[in-house]
């Protein structure tokens, strides 16, 4: 049995408003990733500023703040072998216009500014982002009945 990774996914306001949440989550589950936590929330400005701190001072920072706080989002924690890389590959390129068909952005988005989804870019950022959106007792560890069939 290999060691599972945890990663963070944020389904952005455009994904929620367009009714894409179930279709996107189903893709992750079908791939074999385990859902450990999921919640619907509206991101408060203070959390948005912390979450996107590396973009502070950039021209797109204020439009990004307005967008990410504009409506509900779905925060998700997934677990599985190579979860960070698997989710990033499934999402497709950040600029949705360049994302391959078959990826989440390639199938559901057209622009970089409304690209439906965020996923952690590494294990450290996953840990940080999970900590921003979830308390430890909001995550559920369990064994899926199909785990024996997903891993060697």
Sheet with 73-80, strands from edge to edge, namely: 34-41, 73-80, 5-11, 117-119
Beta bridge partners of 40: 74
Across residues 16-23, what is the average pLDDT? 98
For residue range 93-135, list pLDDT tens digits in order: 999 999 999 999 999 999 998 999 999 999 999 999 999 999 9
Tokens at residue 127, please?
A: 């840990």
Position 3 pLDDT exceeds 80: no
Contacts of 33 (CB under 8 A, 6+ apart): 78, 79, 80, 83, 86, 87
What is the domain partition of the chain in residue ranges?
A: 5-137
pLDDT of 17 reads 98
For residue range 47-103, list pLDDT tens digits in order: 999 999 999 999 999 999 999 999 999 999 999 999 999 999 999 999 999 999 999
Residue 118 annotated to the active site: yes
pLDDT of 1 reads 47
Q: Which of 6, 12, 88, 118 is catalytic?
A: 118
Position 149 pLDDT exceeds 90: no
Instruction: Convert 52-106 into a string of H (helix), E (strand) and C (coil).
Output: CHHHCCCCCHHHHHHHHCCCCEEEEEEEECCHHHHHHHHHCCCCHHHCCCCCHHH
Q: Note the CATH number of domain 5-137.
A: 3.30.70.141
pLDDT of 151 reads 80
């Amino acid at each position: 049995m290999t060691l599972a990774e945890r990663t963070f996914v944020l389904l952005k306001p455009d994904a929620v408003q367009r009714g894409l949440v179930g279709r996107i989550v189903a893709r992750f589950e079908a791939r074999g990733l385990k859902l450990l936590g999921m919640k619907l929330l509206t991101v408060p400005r203070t959390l948005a500023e912390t979450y996107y701190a590396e973009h502070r001072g950039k021209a797109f920072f204020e439009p990004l703040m307005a967008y990410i706080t504009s409506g509900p989002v779905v925060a998700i924690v997934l677990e599985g072998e190579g979860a960070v890389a698997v989710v990033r590959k499934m999402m497709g390129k950040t600029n949705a216009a360049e994302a391959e068909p078959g990826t989440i952005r390639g199938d559901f988005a057209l622009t970089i500014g409304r690209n439906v989804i965020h996923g952690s870019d590494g294990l450290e950022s996953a840990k940080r982002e999970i900590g921003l959106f979830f308390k430890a007792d909001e995550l559920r560890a369990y064994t899926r009945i199909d785990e024996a069939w997903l891993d060697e």
